Amino acid sequence: MKKLLLLYFVLLCAAYQQAEAQCTQCTPLDCSVQKPAGGLCNQAPDDTAGTPYDAVISFYMPRILNDPATLAQCSGCSYVELHHIKIVGIQGLPTGVNSTPNHANGYYDVWAGDSLGCVSFCGTPVAPGVYYIIVNLLADVVAVGTPIGNVSVNGQAQTYRDTIEIFPGTSVCPQTFSIGNGPCVLEACDSVSVNLNATLTNANCPNLISYSWAYGNGGTSPAKTPGVVNYLTPDTFPLSLTTTYYTYRITEVTAEITGGYTGDVEELTSLSNPDPYIIIPSLGFNNTGTGNDQDSKTWTGLNLVVPENNCDDPIEIQVWDEDTGPPQHSNPLGSQDDNCGSHFITPAVPNQVTHSGSNSKVWVSFDTVATSSVTETVDVIVFPHPPVPALVATKDSLCNGDSAVLSLTVAVPGYAFTWYMNDTTELASTDSVLTVKTSGDYKVKITNVVTGCVEWSAPHAVAVGTAAPGNINIIFNGTSAFVSPFPSSGFAVDWYFNGNLVVGQNGKFLAFLGNGEYSAEVYNINFPFCRTASGIDTIVSGLNDLVDHSIYDVSIFPNPNNGKFKVNFTTDETQDIRFVISSVVGQTISDRKMENFSGNFNEEIDLSELSKGVYFVTIETKNGRHNSKVVVQ
């Protein structure tokens, strides 16, 4: 019968689990037409580590098994009746994956019409690999029409094996441990701090789990939560955690029969001692045929692994006295086996568990065994600090309109550049040099294009000065030459007489030094190189300063006046004439140029809105000038 049952249960998927798993209960599909001989309607898909798994597998269990493959294993039976199926245990599921059958406790009363079933799969597999699944089943079947009649086998333990493959995940984050709050970044500049905590627990077998940390810097820990680990030197550190799941394992069983058995018909000449054997249904263990006229027997080296999914549940150990008759055996003259009691043992280590019943007693020894191990390694990378950039400028002070170039004293290949002025204004340049025309404190941020590490330069100050605005002219008032117009403050003058610097004379006015060529350069006191130069004026002292005979009949009337007066002059030449009115301190009131002028000039001038005082009227040509004093009362 064992071959018969295995043939049938190969049709069932390996991923059943006890009903305690917290998956959503499924509704089976009807695949009786597609699978008339019974079997799976669909297959459990493979999965990817770290990805939620959600699937439903349906299957069909016919009441009558009469396909040729089944009958070939039935020793001449007509057909096989399938009465009940119960899923009693499972091992080897990928860590993190559970499943739940649609019937409580995985029990299906097929003979009563309960022929359709399904299993819900849920969870998140945590590690890739090929997982070898072991499913333990109990089946009640009846082989009809065998040579010794109908044979009923109840609670026959069977084992089925299969595999599920979990592919590597794509997440960049570690799946088996956390590193603290925030994103899972294990690389930084200068140093990395991680707050380590293992995230996997053995919910099915509490406390049967171990953690082995290797920090990659020589440090290790067996704790679930080692806490903060600091990496302070530039390097790559392989940080790994091995999480190992354990379950209980039965290593040895001693069974003693104390009563409840009868003499064996086939042993008429013996002392009718029992022939003990044991069955452990949930582990698929049945050692019929091992007893031989003894009250007790010990089985060593069993190494029967208790399924993880029910490792804390009591394990049933049945004690039997073996005879040779049906239904367990084929001798029609023999007596049936005697059930000498069941013992429900709760696993524990490192103890030997003893349990006594009315007709038998058992001693069970346990140890633990690793059922799966998940190792995950991630690199902790500490990047070196970038060099501190230093700036140099072609000049630190410049005149308005000029420019200076800032650059790094040492090139830093492999870095991106971001320039700032006065800490807040980000500039458009992304090059390693910056052209500036505005006063400010400039600095650059360099960013390693591979690691993202950043460093700043110290600020570098550039000052920009302003030159005197516009054009300046030299005007002679009869006793002094002066600059017009002259900025209000912050400026000085370098005077030149006949091409030579007049030392010590830097004011607006220069006392008459004699007939000759006068010129001036107005400069910013804080930025002496910001200069505005006049033209060269020839000044000859005398009546009306320099008599230009092409200008005649010069008159101002009335003078003194109330601010309103007429200016009259005549020229017979066609020439450019400059007509300037200025104050006694050199302030330009009016500066008018008349190109290609000839004839008579006769206009009224109105200075009534100005302060009372002395003003000068200057008529200038290429040959000289006429200066006239006007008194406004």
Which residues lie closer than 8 Å to 442 by C-beta, 6 or more apart? 391, 406, 419, 420, 421, 434, 436, 459, 460, 461, 462
Over residues 365-394, the pLDDT tens digits come to 999 988 778 888 999 999 999 999 999 999
From the CB of residue 103, how many other CB atoms can be counted at a distance below 10 Å? 18
Phi, psi of 76 (to 5 degrees): 85, 10
Q: Give the Cα-Cα-Cα angle 302, 304, 306 (nearest 5 degrees).
A: 155
- CA–CA separation, 529 and 90 (whole Å): 92
429: Cα separation from own chain's centroid: 29
For residue 483, count other CB atoms closer than 10 A to its CB.
Answer: 25
Longest dimension (CA), the chain: 173
pLDDT at 448 over 70: yes
HEC profile of 421-445: ECCCEECCCCCCEEEECCCEEEEEE
d(CA 276, CA 261): 10
Q: Is the Cβ–Cβ distance between 616 and 582 less than 8 Å? A: yes
CA angle, 381 then 387 then 390, to 5°: 160
pLDDT for 55-99, tens place per residue? Answer: 888 888 898 888 787 777 676 788 888 898 887 766 667 777 877
- What pLDDT was estimated at residue 383? 95
**What are the residues whose beta carbons fall under 8 Å from the beta carbon of 164, sequence distance 6 or more?**
14, 15, 44, 46, 47, 93, 94, 97, 130, 131, 133
Query: 534 pLDDT band (50/70/90 cuts)?
Result: confident
Domains with residue ranges and CATH for the chain: 2-167 (no CATH), 172-383 (2.60.40.150), 386-465 (2.60.40.10), 473-539 (2.60.40), 551-632 (2.60.40.3080)
Q: Are 386 and 454 in contact (CB under 8 A)?
A: yes
Task: Report the candidate in 95, 117, 106, 90 with the shortest Cα–Cα distance to residue 47.
Answer: 95
Q: Which amino acid is at 357?
A: G
Comparing CA positions, the residue from 364, 357, 329, 331 lying closest to residue 342 is 357
Specify which residues 495 forms β-bridges with.
520
pLDDT at 14 over 70: no
**What is the per-residue pLDDT across 178-207, written as a single tens digit (0 to 9) for each?**
888 666 778 899 999 999 999 888 776 777
Q: Which residue has the higher pLDDT, 554 or 520?
A: 520
- 573 with 598: CB under 8 angstroms? yes
Which phi and psi (to 5°) does residue 485 adopt? Answer: -80, 160
Confidence of residue 269 (pLDDT cuts 50, 70, 90): very low
Q: Alpha-carbon distance 580 to 545, whole Å?
A: 15
Highest mean pLDDT among 134-143, 273-282, 283-292, 618-627: 273-282
Task: Report the C-alpha gap between 82 and 360 in whole angstroms.
Answer: 32
* Under 8 Å between Cβ of 98 and 22: yes
Check residue 36 and give its pLDDT. Answer: 84
Contact 80, 143 (CB under 8 A): yes
- Residue range 216-248, pLDDT digits in tens: 999 999 999 999 999 999 999 999 999 988 889
pLDDT tens-digit map of 93-140: 777 787 788 887 788 999 998 889 888 888 878 667 777 777 677 788
Q: With bands split at pLDDT 50, 70 and 90, how would you rate the model's confidence at 51?
A: confident
According to the model, what pLDDT value does residue 444 have? 96
* Cα within 13 Å of Cα(382), Cβ side: 16
305-325 confidence digits (pLDDT tens): 887 766 777 899 999 988 876
Q: Does residue 531 register a pLDDT over 50?
A: yes
pLDDT of residue 10: 34
Q: At 326, is the pLDDT very low, low, confident or very high (cuts 50, 70, 90)?
A: low
| Cβ(248)–Cβ(311) below 8 Å | yes
Read off the DSSP letter of residue 97. Answer: E
Distance CA 252, CA 261 (A): 24
Which pLDDT band holds residue 3 (cuts at 50, 70, 90)? very low
Q: What is the pTM of this model?
A: 0.59
Give 327's pLDDT tier (boundaries 50, 70, 90). Answer: low
Residue listed under structure tokens 């390694």: 377
Number of residues in the chain? 633
pLDDT in tens, 568-594: 998 888 999 999 888 876 778 888 999
Predicted confidence band of residue 4 (pLDDT cuts 50, 70, 90): very low
Q: What is the pLDDT of residues 427-439, one digit of tens each?
A: 888 889 999 999 9
For residue 572, CA distances in Å to 114, 426, 580, 627 come to 133, 64, 20, 19
